[in-house]
Amino acid sequence: MNKESVGIVETKYFHISEPIKLDSGEEIEDVSVAYETYGELNKEKSNAILVCHALTGDAHAAGWHEGDRKPGWWEIVIGPGKALDTEKYFIICSNVLGGCKGTTGPSSINPKTGKEYGLDFPVITIADMVKVQKKLVESFEINQLIAVIGGSMGGMQVLEWMVRYPTMMKKAVPIATAALSSPQQIAFNAVGRQSIFSDPHWKGGNYYESGVIPRNGLSLARMIAHITYLSDESMDIKFGRGLQDKDEISYDFSVDFQVESYLKYQGESFVKRFDANSYLYITKAVDLFDLTVNDSLIEGLKNVEAKVEVLSVDSDWLYPTEQSTDIVTALNANDVEVSFSEIKSNYGHDAFLLEKGQLNFILANFLSESIVEDLMMENIATIKATANVQDAAKLMLEKHVTHIPVVTGDNKLIGIVTSWDLSKSIAMNSNHLNDIMTTTVKYCKADDSIEDISRKMRKFDISCLPVVDDDMTVVGLITTDQISNLLS
């Protein structure tokens, strides 16, 4: 097994006890979420990244399951030394609501009937998927993610996170996606759904008991969709007009061309791993996705606070670059810090799953361009200079910290007290903070670079810095532990 892999992994499950209120107004109860994690969550719970999967993906983004012939779907960027470095970051990936790979969906058992939901499962949206993801993230007691990253439908989830929970992530990377589904994109999904509806084995969604799935309809839906994931150039390079297992045209309706055989294989292999009803619900959620407000994307993205990197693929005709630049334009109009990169590839839409070099380069650079604000702890404990040593000791024990900024009544920094200072108070036989606290305290600003702050800490041999604004108001705290998790 490759030393850059996370190795053998297992899918875990999280149960949400309270009902989830959906955008449709309906509620769904007893939601189970399948998820995987890679790397270790640090003690500050500040090194987590959420990865969102595409339409027919799942929670298995990296590593290997026992007996698997291939690794997780984003093995190329997740693992030691890769862009999503599991020696630095704690990576979370979960199967979406409505899926069929462990998270509650139409093939799950309805607790009210004891049978599969089928079409009794409520219509869901991308926002509903994100609500469920947020519950999972909060179960780790994570207050803020370093980043949310995903491609295609995963990119839609990223955009929804940016809008719905703007302070929950510091950075965001939507890849090969759109802020709203276009008529052409809706049309492809509609044809795919119609192919399932027309399969006699679909039985109005109630095919579970019969044991006979709508194989032909689902296979055809996948074949249609798969064409949109490729580019004309990639199909020409891969297949051209090559014949499949024959030397000349047969002049009947059997498979003549290699591309026909390839699509047939894609369809047949897909029905072995995916549920037809889940395909209906998830494609419908994609169709419903629209972040505009009053027909304005600028209005729809006005509350975004994350630093954003938007990626597109130059040969992607399913989610063309124009839709990515629309997102960039709207974010720029809202003074959001945003950058844009276009992956050069002949793979088409699937490039976000295949272009290892470009993806690792772009993602690693974006994640490593860190400032203090990206890592600092917020809502920290502070203490007034009028407090006594016992108050400081109790606060350190309660908050599990070794450094507490000393502030004025309006939260202006005037000093710092450490656990070492508490020891000094015993030697001095003093119970007053004024006698032991450091008043010539070193500090930093939220927009200082991590590299500069790291050098400053080494120079003065200190392990913690208060973070202040231009008025010397304390806004956070940064430690060498946090920095060491980011920098190698």
Neighbouring residues of 34: CB distance < 8 A, sequence distance ≥ 6: 11, 12, 13, 58, 59, 94, 95, 99, 101, 102, 103
Measured distance CA(78)–CA(80) in Å, rounded: 7
Report the DSSP pairing between strands 444-445 and 413-418.
Answer: unpaired
Measured distance CA(315)–CA(134) in Å, rounded: 33
Contact by Cβ (8 Å): 228, 188: yes
Percentage helix, strand, coil for the chain under 3-state DSSP, each rounded to 5:
35, 20, 45
In terms of phi and psi (left: phi > 0; alpha: psi -120 to 50; beta: otherwise), the region of 354 is alpha
Contact by Cβ (8 Å): 274, 265: no
Q: Which of 5, 46, 152, 345 is catalytic?
A: 152
In terms of phi and psi (left: phi > 0; alpha: psi -120 to 50; beta: otherwise), the region of 430 is beta
Residue appearing with tokens 């024990």: 397
Neighbouring residues of 389: CB distance < 8 A, sequence distance ≥ 6: 422, 425, 430, 431, 432, 433, 436
Q: Which helix (H) or strand (E) holds 28?
A: strand 27-28
Q: Which of 316, 350, 374, 421 is catalytic?
A: 316
Measured distance CA(39)–CA(80) in Å, rounded: 9
Measured distance CA(312)–CA(344) in Å, rounded: 9
- Kindly report the CA angle at 480 between 309 and 82, in degrees rounded to 5? 40
Measured distance CA(270)–CA(158) in Å, rounded: 26
* 152 a catalytic residue: yes
Q: Which helix (H) or strand (E) holds 338?
A: strand 338-343
Tell me the catalytic residues. Answer: 152, 316, 349
